[in-house]
Amino acid sequence: MSDKGYSYAIPDHQIEYPKIDPRSIKFDPRAQRNLNKARARTIAEKLVPSALGTPILSQRADGLYAVDGMHRVYACQLVLAGEVEVPEQVREAVQMISCEVHFGLSMANEASLFIIKNKESSKVGPNDEFRIGVLAGHPLFVDTNAVLEKHQLKVGSRTTNGVRGIKGILSIVEEHGPEVLDQSLSIAEEAWGRTPDTWHSVTIGGIANVISSHPDVVKPQELAQKLKRQGDPLSFKAKIQTIATNNNTRADGTRGRLKAAHLAVASAWNSNRRVNRIPVPNIFE
């Protein structure tokens, strides 16, 4: 279990709640998701001023920047610019909007604040969260990114150098530490080479669980050879899915797939082995 602290934190700072002309608010996609103008237009066309909530802004040296609520702010800008047809009372209601303004934050602090405000919601995609977390300098994301860069891997890319399932990769670092992720990626590459399916987070998670649970028994190079004999990485993924669903007789979730991956990797290690066998988990307990 990793004992490194992976918590979000920003310094104490001044916060005010004024009414702001939305046309004065700027956007910087480096510290949050990219602006989806089509989505903002849809919001603008059905805008209900009383449901705007309180956009969160950061006061920088060159003006106010949206930290959270960017699409709502841009929707107000579209309304005030006459880009969409709305009742006149709606246009009047968004001339000035209530905002939460933070002072004295660095861009990294803004990125952390964005993650804190959105972490428990489904609004932020995992790839965006990862990108912003790296910018924020959050140790979990920075440590994970350092390992991925070492292996010349990119998040979200569907190529031979692309990692899919970044939430699962982050969970490995959070639970076992970056060294285990590093070793797991090396084992997977030695077993299957650089293919899009080599880096699937569930497979990597199964390897990580086995090597972290049995560090004095499992030899990385030998495990890689054992996995190679199981077939290509796509076939191994299919095997994990079959185990997780009990031959399609039950639903599987992320936790079930990870247990199945642990079982599949442990079984591969135990194959044709009389000594140094490791326990195989019962995933249906």
- Locate tokens 């979200």: which residue? 156
CB contact at 8 A, 241 and 221 = no
pLDDT beyond 90 at 126 = no
Residue 11: strand, helix, or coil: coil
Q: How far apart are CA 233 and CA 161, in angstroms?
A: 14
State both tokens at 163: 């990692």
Residue 154 makes CB contacts below 8 A (sequence gap 6+) with 148, 161, 162, 163
**Angle in degrees, CA 171, 174, 178, rounded to 5:** 100
* Strands, sheet with 100-103, edge to edge from the N-terminal-most edge strand: 15-16, 100-103, 56-60, 63-68, 25-26
Among the residue ranges 11-15, 77-81, 243-247, the one predicted with the least confidence is 243-247
Mean of per-residue pLDDT scores for the chain: 90
Q: How far apart are CA 285 and CA 282, in angstroms?
A: 6
pLDDT more than 90, % of the chain: 71
Residue 267: strand, helix, or coil: helix
State both tokens at 52: 């705007």
- Locate tokens 């797939």: which residue? 257
Pick 252 or 251 by higher pLDDT.
Answer: 252
pLDDT in tens, 94-117: 999 999 999 999 998 998 898 888
Q: Which CATH architecture does the domain made up of 15-118 adopt?
A: Alpha-Beta Complex (3.90)
Most confident of 12-21, 135-144, 248-257: 12-21
pLDDT for the residue 249:
52
Q: Which amino acid is at 26?
A: K
| Per-position DSSP letters for 80-146, written without gaps between them | HTT-S---HHHHHHTSSEE-EEEES--HHHHHHHHHHHHTTSSSS-HHHHHHHHHHHT-HHHHHHHH
- Locate tokens 């995992």: which residue? 126
Q: How far apart are CA 20 and CA 89, in angstroms?
A: 18
pLDDT in tens, 73-82: 999 999 999 9
First to last CA, the chain: 22
Q: H/E element holding 26?
A: strand 25-26
pLDDT for the residue 128:
87
CB contact at 8 A, 179 and 171 = no
**How sure is the predictor about 140, in pLDDT bands with cuts at 50, 70 and 90?**
very high
pLDDT in tens, 262-280: 999 999 999 999 999 999 8
Other CB atoms within a 10 A radius of the CB of residue 42 amount to 14
State both tokens at 132: 């912003």
